[in-house]
A and B are shown apart, each in its own frame.
Chain A
Amino acid sequence: MARGQSLLAYALMRLVIAIPMLFILLTIIFVVLRVMPGDPLLALWGGRTPPASAIESARVQLGLDKPPIVQYWIYLTGVLTGNLGVSIGELYRGQPVWNQIYLRLPATIELAIGSMLVASTVGILLGVVAGTRRDKPSDLSIRLYGTIIWVIPVFWLGIMFQLVFAVWLGWLPPHGRWSGTDVPTRVTGLYTIDALLEGSFPKFLKALSFLVLPCLTLGLILSGFFTKAVRANMLRTVNADYTEAARARGVSERNVVYRHAFRNALVPVVTILGLTFAILFAGAVLTERTFSIEGIGLLLLNSITSKDMTMIQGVVVVYAAFIIAISVVIDIVGALIDPRIRL
């Protein structure tokens, strides 16, 4: 009971700290976007030149004629009431910011989850193997793999996979999330889940087939880093005093590795996994671009180039919310694994 209460208090404290963090972040973003050079209104018309009256009319319609402090107040109250405003950029102009995020977030979530599954499975397995077989050929091979895969540019690996598996072998679709007009009816926006909710296993397989190459590409790249992280932590814990003590008490090596060394090695790895996962939610821009996935990463990139201030703000709000939520979850998981964290 006492343990449960302290964990709850710990989680609540993390959430309370998150509120001023979010407020500071929103303020910084608001100020930075207005200080940076570039006029989104002029950019709206591309290379064309409407009369000054049209530009001024647009400025009024988009609320950019108001003093910055008023704009800031409107922005903050909007965020608090769930209204992220309307895009003022060239690509999404006039469209509610939340609609664009809502449309694209599922694509990024599917990509992030799929990639993390690949990365954590490959990374943890190889890391444990390497960490328990220090300097043996398998360790050396895995270290070499970790280094090489981590430095390969994600777009290059993606293009190679597309070339081999899509163009040459024709096994998998090269890009996009779907082909044809029979898109699963939107419930969650995640095509795999929506296909299952629709009761169509062929559609589920089809959605999955579009995920294989991008998730494999990003997942394998990330697995290089995870492999190294897990290996390093395993080396630390495998030779730690408490594992030596376990061995001295006659605990089998298998139990020493998996119940003592591996569990303790996981604490920092969980933090890395969690934060990487959170970063992926902000969008794996290069992967999304390589595989024509209209995710939140591309949304942010396009918004930055057109200085779409409301869209950037909106994406950052959602991104910050994800980071905070995942940080809290990481902290709680970490606290569950290692009670000392709560002290």
Chain B
Amino acid sequence: MAIVVVVIVVIAGTLTAFYLGLFAAPRAPYQLQLWYNNDGHYGDTEDELATVLKSSIEACGRVLVTLRSDPWAVYRQNWAAGTMPLFLLGWYPDYFDSDDYISPFLSISGARALGSRYNNSQVDQWITDEQTTSDPAVRMARFTSIQEKLAEDAPYIPLFSGNAHVAYVAGIQNVNLHPVSFKWFIMDKPGATTLTGATTDKIISLDPASAYDYFSIEVINQVFDTLLVYEPVQSKIMPGLATEIPTVANGGITNGGRTYTYHLKPGVTFHDGTPLNSSVVKRSIDRVIRLDLPASAAFLLYDVGALGRDPTNGNNTAVGTIETPDPLTVVFNLARPVSFFNDLMAFSVSAPVPWDYSQTGEQPSTVGSVIGTGPYRMTQHIENQLVVFDRFANYHSPDLYQSFGINTIPVEDQVTVNIRTTAAALKNDIETKQVDVVYRTLTPTDLTDLQSRASTLGITVTVGASPQIRYLVFQTETITDVRIRQAIAYSVDRAAIDNVVFNGQVVPLYSMLPPEMPYHSPVFQTKYGAVPNCAQANALLSAAGFFVGLGARELIARDT
């Protein structure tokens, strides 16, 4: 009898315990792999950045992050294959239109290529709308909707805008952190005719048909001109080789945004004395498209810019796409409206090159072979050591920036840029004043050190926003549950990234479209807040079925 009672009590107790959930198997934490590049593609801070992200996400207590890394060639392959569920990337725009921060990430084709595989036909349509209209009201409405949807679906988590920095000997003027390209030709060292600089960047190619890296483009921008160029401080376009910016109002944009007409300045010559005319412009653009060199930006013209590539016309643009009604007029007939075509004409890939440039391959990057219409001629180039620019006496527009207070360009007769291997060398250069200007890239520690000793050293250190953005990518076909992505968005600590990794020198980012660009809206701040919100993150994870006690942040919050 006693045994029966004991058995009944045990059974009843067990059932009660199950009812109360005491024996419920604890649901596991969410396991997440966070990938980063480990061979310096984004500089020397990447492992630290990944570590801070890991600790920030884990601090809420319900996610366990495993860090994984690969060198760039493998990393790139992984992301194409979709094997990284969450990974770090960076973006530097090609053309300075808001579209270049949106369409590569959120259009269906762009998102597949950039690794998130986000697929939303409504967003795709909004992108097509903003790309094909020049009406600011329509664009504002579309960019607002797109950014709100971005925050809601969180296929990416914007983290921060990179910093740009330059250190130079005190007294040198016009050292601007231009968002598009550093302009050596406007720098003024009072009382001197020459200027020396240093960088850790490398020249890859000085052929506009091939160059697609920051420093090569920077050098090209000293030696070549484009139809439209940028103002000395801001990323606002202005006429370069063209007499005016085509607009609907001045008749330069017609046919519903499909036709762009540029009028060239008369009397422009290349450094070799040959004339610039509309035929040269057409031949230059056709050359880029026909060669379609590996790793080049040619696709920006034939694909993004809708100029096309016609196999029946030798892979040039199709007959009639680029017309030259007279020597000083060039007309582009696009396959579809492209609202940012003017920005593409300000990109180095569109720089006209002399008639005799190689038509079968890449032009060498040696002295005598690099010939533009820009303010400087390249007079010396020792690979990976230095590049020297000398004033082009017949520059077509020495008064280009007069309205900005720069009377004549180029300002100095000669500029020498030394190429260094390490950031430490760059720091040495400015500490010992071996050079006047060092630009790209000091480590955050060296930058802080130079800032603190600037007055003692007699230098000026300027830090500003960079157009580069850094962000996390979710492979949305792997992490399909939007609640998981939102939970991670709630737990990311941008302030920790800024303070721990970058010594307070980056700017937290709350949209893929940075604040400097038109139509920016800080949607992630609005939706997820500026500081980590573990309660919200954990509620979402619980709803998604993941649970493991209290996180460090919650414990701290309860203790205080």
Q: A residues touching B (Cβ–Cβ < 8 Å)?
A: 37-51, 54, 57-58, 61-62, 88, 90-94, 103-104, 159, 162, 166-167, 170, 173-181, 183, 288-294, 298, 304-307
| B560 in the interface (beta carbon within 8 A) | no
List residues of B (288-322) whose CB comes within 8 Å of A's CBs.
Answer: 292-295, 298-299, 303
> Which one of B90, B298, B384, B388 has the greatest number of beta carbons of chain A within 10 Å?
B384
Q: Are A181 and B431 in contact (CB under 8 A)?
A: no
List residues of B (421-457) whose CB comes within 8 Å of A's CBs.
Answer: 421-422, 424-425, 428, 431-432, 434
| B74 in the interface (beta carbon within 8 A) | yes
Q: Are B425 and A305 in contact (CB under 8 A)?
A: no
Q: B228-266 vs A: 1/0 string, CB under 8 Å? A: 000000000000000000000000000000000000000
Q: Are A294 and B71 in contact (CB under 8 A)?
A: no
Q: Are A40 and B292 in contact (CB under 8 A)?
A: no
Q: Report B-chain residues with C-beta under 8 Å of the C-beta of A167.
A: 428, 431-432
CA A166 to CA B41, docked complex, whole Å: 30
Q: How many residues of B contact A (CB 8 A)?
A: 52
Given contacts A47-B89, A51-B303, contact A162 B421 (CB under 8 A): no
Q: Which listed residue, B212, B213, B299, B425, touches A174 by the CB 8 Å rule? A: B425
Q: Which of B5-13, B202-210, B348-356, B544-552 contacts A (4 or more CB under 8 A)?
A: B202-210
Given contacts A43-B72, A57-B292, A181-B416, contact A305 B39 (CB under 8 A): yes
Smallest CB gap from B315: residue in A:
A57
Q: Are A170 and B432 in contact (CB under 8 A)?
A: yes
Q: Are A49 and B113 in contact (CB under 8 A)?
A: yes
| B399 in the interface (beta carbon within 8 A) | no
CA A50 to CA B295, docked complex, whole Å: 9
Q: Are B76 and A91 in contact (CB under 8 A)?
A: no
Q: Are B382 and A183 in contact (CB under 8 A)?
A: yes
Q: Are A39 and B76 in contact (CB under 8 A)?
A: yes
Given contacts A94-B210, A181-B388, A292-B425, contact A176 B418 (CB under 8 A): yes
- Beyond the given pairs A37-B74, A47-B92, A175-B424, 11 more chain A to chain B contacts, judged by CB atoms under 8 angstroms and listed by A's residue number, are A38-B70, A39-B77, A48-B94, A49-B104, A58-B295, A61-B293, A91-B204, A94-B294, A103-B383, A176-B385, A292-B421
Q: Report B-chain residues with C-beta under 8 Å of the C-beta of A47.
A: 41, 89-92
Chain A nearest Cβ from B108, distance in angstroms: 13
Q: B178-191 vs A: 1/0 string, CB under 8 Å? A: 00000000000000
Q: Report A-chain residues with C-beta under 8 Å of the C-beta of B388.
A: 181
Smallest CB gap from B384: residue in A:
A294
A-B contact pairs, 17 of them (CB 8 A): A37-B77, A38-B74, A39-B80, A42-B77, A42-B80, A43-B77, A45-B212, A47-B92, A54-B298, A57-B294, A62-B294, A88-B294, A162-B424, A166-B432, A181-B380, A294-B384, A305-B39
| B362 in the interface (beta carbon within 8 A) | yes
CA A41 to CA B213, docked complex, whole Å: 15
Chain B nearest Cβ from A167, distance in angstroms: 6
Given contacts A49-B114, A292-B422, A294-B421, contact A162 B428 (CB under 8 A): yes
Q: Are B294 and A61 in contact (CB under 8 A)?
A: yes
Smallest CB gap from A307: residue in B:
B73
Q: Which listed residue, B77, B292, B362, B425, touches A54 by the CB 8 Å rule? A: B292
Chain A nearest Cβ from B510, distance in angstroms: 21
| B29 in the interface (beta carbon within 8 A) | no
| B40 in the interface (beta carbon within 8 A) | yes
Q: Are B421 and A94 in contact (CB under 8 A)?
A: no
CA A159 to CA B422, docked complex, whole Å: 12
Chain B nearest Cβ from A171, distance in angstroms: 11
Q: Are B73 and A39 in contact (CB under 8 A)?
A: yes
Given contacts A93-B294, A293-B421, contact A305 B72 (CB under 8 A): yes
Q: Are B299 and A43 in contact (CB under 8 A)?
A: no
Given contacts A41-B294, A42-B76, contact A91 B202 (CB under 8 A): yes
Chain A nearest Cβ from B453, distance in angstroms: 12
Q: Report A-chain residues with C-beta under 8 Å of the C-beta of B336.
A: none
Given contacts A57-B292, A167-B428, A290-B422, contact A94 B205 (CB under 8 A): yes
> Which one of A42, A47, A298 has the greatest number of beta carbons of chain B within 10 Å?
A47
Q: Report A-chain residues with C-beta under 8 Å of the C-beta of B104.
A: 48-49
Q: Which listed residue, A170, A176, A178, touches B425 by the CB 8 Å rule? A: A176
Top 7 nearest A-B pairs by Cβ distance? A38-B73, A49-B113, A58-B294, A307-B73, A292-B421, A44-B295, A38-B74
Smallest CB gap from B91: residue in A:
A47
| B283 in the interface (beta carbon within 8 A) | no
CA A289 to CA B416, docked complex, whole Å: 22
Q: B92-127 vs A: 1/0 string, CB under 8 Å? A: 101000000000100000100110000000000000
> Which one of B41, B70, B73, B89 has the greatest number of beta carbons of chain A within 10 Å?
B73
Q: Report B-chain residues with C-beta under 8 Å of the C-beta of A304.
A: 71
Q: Report B-chain residues with C-beta under 8 Å of the C-beta of A306.
A: 72-73
